[in-house]
Amino acid sequence: MESSKKIDPAERIQNALRELRASVRAYRRETGKAASPLLSGGAPMVSIRNELVVNSVCTAQREFLLPLVPQGGIACEVGTSTGFFARAIAMFTKPAELHTIDMDYSRFKDSYFEQDSGLPAPIKHEGRSWEELSKFDKYFDLIYIDAGHSYKDVTRDIEAASKAIKPDGYLMFNDYCRWSIEQAEPYGVLAAVNDFANENNWAVRGVALSGSGHFDILLSKNNDVMNARNKEQVEIWKTTTIEPPEKEPRRNS
Ligand SMILES: C[S@@+](CC[C@H](N)C(=O)[O-])C[C@H]1O[C@@H](n2cnc3c(N)ncnc32)[C@H](O)[C@@H]1O
């Protein structure tokens, strides 16, 4: 009788990584080409134009990008999960309206927005992100995109968001990277954002680093008026002390 040896889950990952690395090296040896296009989930390798980054700031965490956005506007988080970052958006941008979009609200914590929190109760939209976004026309001042992470999904969200955002509004993206260390899968956010910025002349206002390498990026339409306003907001940020909210034990997705 065959003995079925139970493999330790950590060992299974180490084995898979070893096998993947060997396959990547073999691919290069046998074809003379880099395997990166096979690991990118169909996302092109695209750099953002330099003039679109010169007015940007760099922050340590994503919460610190929020003071660059004017307060009291209409904000929307696309892909909200527990509502953890929707709460940060509410705390730091004090929106007149806070909208959230998700296809699954089972993990959402209404307790983040209880009456005594002083934060506005979110207006929840349930459904596919790009479909829900397409119901709005030049409505939002800030849209935070963190739903599907494939190149195709993010491109669809950006297309819908670019119509739902006001002409002087801001688009912000979580997971601005090409590969997820948390999911071990390609992320198309970096390529989709760079494509959009280059083609539509949107400038980077800030990039937030993170220990995991899942960066955030904040963009607005590139014009001189916005650049002047951005500088004023950077001054406000420099003189304001902001404590990021207490971290959740782990992110589910
Ligand atoms: C990474 S979580 C969001 C985390 C949240 N933004 C935060 O920072 O705390 C992604 C969420 O997007 C939702 N989602 C993924 N693809 C979606 C889509 N195409 N339409 C709507 N929701 C989607 C998932 O249900 C999940 O709750």
pLDDT tens digits along 97-123 = 999 999 999 999 999 998 777 888 999
Cα 55 to Cα 60: distance, rounded to the nearest angstrom: 17
Q: Where are the domains of the chain?
A: 39-238
Ligand 1 center to residue 166 CA distance, Å?
A: 23
Torsion sign across C-alpha atoms 46, 57, 251, 160: negative
Ligand 1 center to residue 197 CA distance, Å?
A: 22
For the CA of 148, the closest atom of ligand 1 is: 16
Tokens of 174: 């979580």
Contact between residue 134 and residue 164 where contact means Cβ atoms under 8 Å apart = yes
Cα 109 to Cα 45: distance, rounded to the nearest angstrom: 37
Band of residue 250 on the pLDDT scale cut at 50, 70, 90: low
Q: 193-238 pLDDT, tens per residue?
A: 999 999 999 999 999 999 999 999 999 997 655 566 666 766 665 6
The alpha-helical segments, DSSP class H, found in 165-207 are 189-200
φ and ψ of 120, to 5 deg: -70, 140
pTM of the model: 0.88
Question: Which helix (H) or strand (E) segment is 142 a member of?
Answer: strand 140-145
CATH class of the domain whose range is 39-238: alpha beta
- What is the number of other CB atoms lying within 10 angstroms of the CB of residue 25? 11
Ligand 1 center to residue 149 CA distance, Å?
A: 9
Which residue(s) pair with 100 in the sheet? 77, 124
